[in-house]
Amino acid sequence: MSAFTLHASVAGARAGTLHTAHGDIATPVFMPVGTQASVKGVSPQELAACGVGIILANAYHLYLRPGAELIAHAGGLHEFMSWPGAILTDSGGFQVFSLTRLARVDDEGYHFASHLDGSRHTFTPESVVALQEALGSDIAMVLDDVAPAGVDEARAQESASRTLQWARRAKQSIQSSDQRTFAIVQGGAYEDLRRRQAHELAALDFPGYAIGGLWIGEERTLGLAMVAATARELPDDKPRYLMGVGTPEDLIESIARGVDMFDCVYPTRSARHALALTSAGRLNLRNASFSQDFRPLDTSCQCLVCAAFTRAYLAHLFRAGEMLAPRLVSVHNISFLNDLAKEARGAIVDGTFASWSSQRLATLRDATTVEPK
């Protein structure tokens, strides 16, 4: 069976179904990040209550701790973390790029020192495929060479060429028939390079494709332009995944440019800073004026937090330093982004995406931070 079924497309925005061994996922979809087999502060049961069907975990972190052998012995990542839904594992290329000390990349792979204890390791395209097969995720990412923002075209070309070669090697080493492996398009901020690499990767016929190396320091408008240019070169019948993007505005803008899948730590990280996402903008719950606001976070939200708790209570929890505060707001923020993706899908299917997205973006622009009435 194909990894993806496309149901509707309106001016580039797409509604489809992602098929995995742990269930079908309606797209567009936002995937909460569970880097170390845990979405920070949120239980698997709470994720399910939010309507989440797929999460992301990171192969680099799980390789270092607790190790793929232990997770495989536990029955795989789903059993280990008690998550019945689908799991996508990132290959670790970005983590080596951003976290590790004494990292070096060559055509063989990444050679790096662990950010935990300084021990030396090497990731190759083949070893990362084997690692993710041991973890047992539903979707695995090939190893990619991530170039920093602002690099010259020569370095971006090197990154793109190496990523293409690694994708070829990774595909040849795949053993699992249950796991879908996605390739990753690199190319920095160079449109012709990204389009060329997307075209070459599409010829390799992977089950899906990711757009990587963006939202790492370049101008947002430039990132969106690269997304649009890349998406146009990718197959219509394969899912498209924009890595590391998760604000409401970026989701809407990127869905409009043909993206189906997203992941980001944004909803949980924002919650730890007392920032709640709502249909009218963002709430900073450390604002003292929320102390007597007895409305839910968002009157249009049906999540378990909005059904049970007020802004005043949540603001009190943050002032008191209670660990429940970021947990509850994380649940709400994840629900909000999940519902936003569902709304976008509905608007695509019924042909109203252009008007829906314009209205949504206008509201978000006009009310970035909401004050109580």
Q: Which residues are tagged catalytic?
A: 90, 263
**Backbone torsions φ then ψ of 50, nearest 5 degrees:** -75, -10
Spatial strand order in the sheet of 13-20: 4-10, 13-20, 23-27
Phi-psi region of 196 (alpha: psi -120 to 50; beta: other; left: phi over 0): alpha
Residue in the structure block whose two tokens are 């997203």: 262
Q: How many angstroms separate the CA atoms of 125 and 133, rounded?
A: 13
Length of the chain: 373
Cβ neighbors of 86 (< 8 A, separation 6 or more) are 18, 20, 21, 22, 23, 25, 53, 54, 55, 138, 139
What does the longest C-alpha to C-alpha distance in the chain come to? 61
Side by side, the strands of the sheet bearing 110-113 are 101-105, 110-113, 120-123
Side chain identity, residue 307: A
**Buried b / exposed e across 67-102, counting CB within 10 Å, b at 16+?**
ebeebbeeebbbebbebebbbbbbbbbbbbbeebee
